[in-house]
Amino acid sequence: ALRPSPLADLDTAALREAHSAFARAYDDLKAAGLKLDLTRGKPSAEQLDLSDDLLHLPDGRYRDAAGTDLRNYGGPTGLAELRAIFADALRVPVGQLLALGNSSLTLMHDTIAFALLHGVPGGELPWSSRPISFLAPVPGYDRHFTIAERFGIRLIPVPSDDNGPDIEAVASLLETDDSIRGMFCVPVYSNPTGAVYSEEVVRALVSLPAADDFRLIWDNAYAVHHLSDERPEPIDVLALAAEAGNPDRPLVFASTSKVTYPGAGVAFFGASPANVEWMLHNLSAQSIGPDKLNQLRHVELLRDADGLAAHMEKHRAILEPKFAAVDAAFRERLAPWGGGTWTAPSGGYFVSLDVLDGAAKRAVQLAKEAGIAVTPAGATFPYGDDPRDANIRIAPTFPPLDELTTALDGLCTAILLAEAETLLS
């Protein structure tokens, strides 16, 4: 058998030999006729089961602690009891936290639409009064990019590392490009790298000189989604921004999509008092109040901050072995060949894998032809353009562990073949 050593160091003869071995393994893989999926960043059925009490709650009850009849219109800020459960984890004071509809992505989309149409507090003109841009830390979340692209907002990629976006790059872009109005941030267990922004990075983001109507789209989707006991201290971005003299800069978003049910959960918006008032004003033209009965059943399921933490531990118990399987597969199959580097996140929903430059698209294509669906290479970059063609987002949460393991092994086979091909070409 072939002895593994880093592909990039092999001479042509050794590389050809490795290529033939990989090609044979790939033929076997194809012959197995798999049909597996690593694209879906969603909870498994087993995780959804954890929240099935929601299916029979609120069990005839329909009043909040204040005695309000929640069956009716009204209550635009959302249920105070539910906001109290999430206020601590999100580090947003209850009075500045809104509990709204079923999707934080909808809130981000609508917030950006409101800003385009009406401008934001502190801004003189609607964003749409001139061509605008957003900063997009890469690799990032493709649905953020889609919102910007749909609205004609130019996206400027910003490199990021384990501590968050590259602050020097952000500072110099903000200084030289006055079209920048926003920046997408996933500060905790980022999609897809799992990076957690350091306090230093957060302080810089809220204090760097920028336009008065510049906003951080602070998408704290994974604030409570821990996978280990090593937990980042939650950062109070609103307090830091206020301290820096820019209280209106961050707009905090979150949801229970990956706490309870995606699609039937509750989304949150948190910001400065001026931004919250602005948001409520805009929302008042759109709705006479959120689904408070859904919020009530969430209160009954989760009860309090400890109940939320305990619920998330059950998710962790299901997810931890899946993330371990990703690490094990790459360690065993890719590492001996120097075939990639990957993140080992302590929370969130994804692993970010960098294969050898120029091989990601081909690897995803080969995997697909062998019946293993992987998120398209490039999806983690604005306009689908990964300049190195190296990044692949791995979503290990949805498939059962045995299917996940099989899919990862097959993916590694496809990656190694793609890399050998790339180096030979």
Q: What is the closest distance, in whole angstroms, from the C-beta atom of residue 349 to ligand PLP in the complex?
A: 6
- Taking CB under 6 A as the criterion, the residue among 133, 246, 255, 343 binding ligand PLP is 255
Stretch that binds ligand PLP, among 4-12, 55-63, 103-111, 307-315 (CB under 6 A): 103-111
For ligand PLP, the closer CB: 147 or 412? 147
d(CA 100, CA 106): 10
Are the CB atoms for 181 and 115 separated by under 8 Å? yes
Binding flag, residue 364, ligand PLP (CB under 6 A)? no
Q: What is the closest distance, in whole angstroms, from the C-beta atom of residue 40 to ligand PLP in the complex?
A: 10
The contacts found for 160-163 with CB under 8 angstroms, 24 or more apart, are: 160/190, 160/193, 160/195, 161/195, 162/193, 162/195, 162/196, 163/195, 163/196, 163/197, 163/198, 163/200, 163/201
- Which among 195, 419, 223, 192 has a CA at the least distance from the CA of 326? 192
d(CA 394, CA 38): 6
For ligand PLP, the closer CB: 141 or 342? 141
Are the CB atoms for 354 and 16 separated by under 8 Å? no
Task: Give one DSSP letter per residue of 181-210, joined into a string.
Answer: EEEEE--SS-TTT-----HHHHHHHHHS--
d(CA 8, CA 16): 12
Binding flag, residue 141, ligand PLP (CB under 6 A)? yes
- Taking CB under 6 A as the criterion, the residue among 262, 289, 338, 376 binding ligand PLP is 262
220 to 249: interface string for ligand PLP, x by CB under 6 A: -x----------------------------
d(CA 302, CA 75): 21
Which two three-digit tokens encode residue 16?
A: 């050809």
Number of residues that bind ligand PLP (CB under 6 A): 13
174 to 193: interface string for ligand PLP, x by CB under 6 A: ------------x----x--
For ligand PLP, the closer CB: 214 or 269? 269
Q: What is the closest distance, in whole angstroms, from the C-beta atom of residue 360 to ligand PLP in the complex?
A: 20
Binding flag, residue 267, ligand PLP (CB under 6 A)? yes
- Taking CB under 6 A as the criterion, the residue among 44, 77, 96, 103 binding ligand PLP is 103
- Which among 76, 115, 95 has a CA at the least distance from the CA of 238? 95
Q: How far is CA 418 from the centre of its chain?
A: 27
- Taking CB under 6 A as the criterion, the residue among 70, 105, 240, 408 binding ligand PLP is 105
- Taking CB under 6 A as the criterion, the residue among 47, 96, 193, 257 binding ligand PLP is 257
For ligand PLP, the closer CB: 219 or 291? 219
Binding flag, residue 219, ligand PLP (CB under 6 A)? yes
For ligand PLP, the closer CB: 219 or 419? 219
For ligand PLP, the closer CB: 221 or 363? 221
For ligand PLP, the closer CB: 104 or 352? 104
Which two three-digit tokens encode residue 224?
A: 């409570």
Binding flag, residue 41, ligand PLP (CB under 6 A)? yes
d(CA 101, CA 295): 9
Q: What is the closest distance, in whole angstroms, from the C-beta atom of residue 194 to ligand PLP in the complex?
A: 11
For ligand PLP, the closer CB: 257 or 422? 257
CA distances from residue 98 to 75, 295, 352 in whole angstroms, order as listed: 10, 11, 32
SS3 for 235-289 is CCHHHHHHHCCCCCCEEEEEECCCCCCCCCCCEEEECCHHHHHHHHHHHHCCCCC
For ligand PLP, the closer CB: 246 or 255? 255
Are the CB atoms for 399 and 407 separated by under 8 Å? yes
Question: Which residues form the interface with ligand PLP (CB under 6 A)?
Answer: 41, 103-105, 141, 186, 191, 219, 221, 255, 257, 262, 267
